[in-house]
Each structure stands twice: as C-alpha cells, then as structure tokens.
Amino acid sequence: MDINWLYGLLGGLVIGTAGAVYLLVNGRIMGPSSSLGGLMDGSDRSTEQFGFVVGLVAVPAVASLMIPMQTYAGSNWAVLVIGGLLVGFGTRLANGCTSGHGVCGISRLSPRGIVASATYVGAGMIVMTALRHLWGMI
Amino acid sequence: MARPFFAALAGAIFGLGLMLSGMTDTRSVQGFLDIFGAWNPTLAFVMGGAMIPMAIAWRVAARRKTAVLGGNFPAMPPPRFDLNLIGGSAAFGAGWALTGFCPGPALASLGFGGWQGLVFVSAMAGGALLAAPLRR
C-alpha cells in the first residue's frame, strides 16, 4: 500500500515545527525565498538569514552521505534556468513562497497568504496541464 | 550567537521535514499539480501537517508580547492584493510546475542534487535580483 501520504503528514508536522521555532524563538516568518532574496539583493543580510540557509542546505547534504539520495529534476538545463528565474522572480515579487505565504500565512489566516497560495497552486495546475497534456513537453 | 544558532536549527528541522515528506522529490510536487494525470495528493498532506504546529505557534505568539530572543512578532500584512502579489505568485506557479522546485526544496537539494540543483538555485538567485527593483 502506498504510504507516501503518511510520510507527507509526518514531514509536514516537522516542517511546521521548524516554522514554529523560527516564529516563537526568533520572531520571524520562515521563508526560504525571503532568506535567499534578502541575502542576494542586500535588503537583509543578517546572520539569521544566513544561518537559516546554512541549516537548510546542511541537513540534506549530510544525510546524503549516509543514505542514497538523488534528484529527479531532469537534465534539461534550459528548463531548469527558466524555471529557476520564474520561481526566484515570482516569489520575490510576491514576497513569499510555499513556506512564507503557504505554511506561515495560511496557518494565521492571512488574506494575502491565502490569495497568493491559491494563485500559485492554480497557476501551477494550469501550466502543468498545458505542458504535460496539451503540448506533451514534460 | 543565539539568533543565527536558532535560525540554523529551524533551517535544519525544515530540511529534515522536506526530506521526510518527500518534497525534495520534484516528481511528487509535479504530480500534485497534475490534476488531469496521475494526481499525487502528498503535498496536500504535507501542507495540512505543517498547519498544525504553525497554527499553535500563532496562538502562542498572540499571548506573548515578544519572541523568546526579543523583538515583536511579524504583524499581519494589510489585505492588499496588488499586481506584485498576483503576478509574482502566478510566475512562481509556472516555474514550480515546469521544474517541481519551490525555494525551500531547491535550497535543500544543493547538497545532493548535483548540477541540476546548482543550476536551478543560481537561476533562482538571479530571478530574485531581477525582482529587487520592482519590490516596495
């Protein structure tokens, strides 16, 4: 039986715990797009943002030394570049991603978080349908 | 040193949760968006699970004046639905569908995702810089 949903639920609880720690201890919204963006454009180069990114990168990196892990992202570099530009530009313009608007925003019933999340999920479903079922691209 | 330490701890727990939930697998994320294909509901369970500790944390935050390390909690942003929010989220959704990466799992994949993770995160950082002059 497929138990991916159970890992999803457990992993989700862990992700929510990370957001709870960042909120209650540091007083901040957990948002990797804001962490990366702030470090990039210089709007927030605090040691906090840097520390968050280091922790996020380090754990899967160390884990991959012990358990086999690989990416399934495909090997079309043009797709990765266009996708990366869209994700970086879009999340920064909207001031949040699946974490900041999604996990942190919806859980406090933030109207902006809910509208942003409905928009990126809706756009994602439309684009996925077009790419995979209309044009057979991915 | 407490601030960067606990920030790194939160990042580490986040990375662990992303791995456990399967969200570092771009196929699972794309499967969630593929409502007319072999739909994969895992992402909905991840989001649902993450809401529980976060909803509790927001309630705790409402009773406290300041965070443990000091400073106010982030205020609720005013409900302004401008072009930046809608257009930016739509662009994000398109890139998300194209690759199956959102910013958290993309950063998490730097350590094991080979050149794909590196290319995606580099492009994402470039995209963030492009958005900087348009932000308010």
pLDDT digit string (tens) for B26-78?
999 999 999 999 999 999 999 999 999 999 999 999 999 899 999 999 999 99
Residue B136 has pLDDT above 90, yes or no: no
Give the list of residues 6+ apart from residue B73 with CB closer than 8 angstroms, or none: A23, A27, B61, B64, B66, B67
Q: What is the pLDDT of residue A137?
A: 87
Q: Averaged over A115-131, what is the pLDDT? A: 98
Closest listed residue to residue B99, CA positions, set B38, B22, B25: B25
In angstroms, the CA A121 to CA B30 distance is 11
Q: Quote the crossing angle between the two packed helices A111-128 and B26-33, to the nearest 10°.
A: 90
HSE at residue B24, side-chain half, CA atoms within 13 A, is 28
For B33, the closest of A13, A75, A125 (CB atoms) is: A125
Cβ(B84)–Cβ(A93) under 8 Å?
yes
Q: Which residues 27-46 of B are in CB contact (within 8 Å) with A?
A: 27-28, 30, 33-37, 40-46
| Minimum Cα–Cα distance from B3: chain A residue | A48
pLDDT digit string (tens) for A58-109?
999 999 999 989 999 988 999 999 999 999 999 999 999 999 999 999 999 9
Fill in the amino acid letter for A85. L
Cβ(A71)–Cβ(B109) under 8 Å?
yes
Q: Is the dihedral of CA A7, B45, B91, B15 positive or negative?
A: negative
For A108, the closest of B48, B58, B134 (CB atoms) is: B58
Q: Taking CB atoms and an 8 Å cutoff, what residues of chain A touch B8?
A: 51-52, 54-55, 58
Radius of gyration of chain A (CA): 17
Contact across the interface for B50 and A12, Cβ inside 8 Å:
yes
Q: What is the pLDDT of residue A130?
A: 97
Residue B20 has pLDDT above 90, yes or no: yes
The answer to whether B85 faces chain A, any CB pair under 8 Å, is yes
Closest listed residue to residue B2, CA positions, set B63, B50, B69, B84: B69
**Buried (b) or exposed (e) across B3-21, using 16+ Cβ within 10 A?**
bbbbbbbbbbbbbbbbbbb
Query: What is the ipTM metric for this complex?
Result: 0.97
Nearest C-alpha of chain A: how many angstroms from B29? 10
Q: What is the pLDDT of residue B6?
A: 98
Tokens 């497929």, residue? A2
Which tokens hold the place of B116?
């794909």
Q: Please give the biggest Cα pair distance in chain A.
A: 48
In angstroms, the CA B90 to CA A116 distance is 8
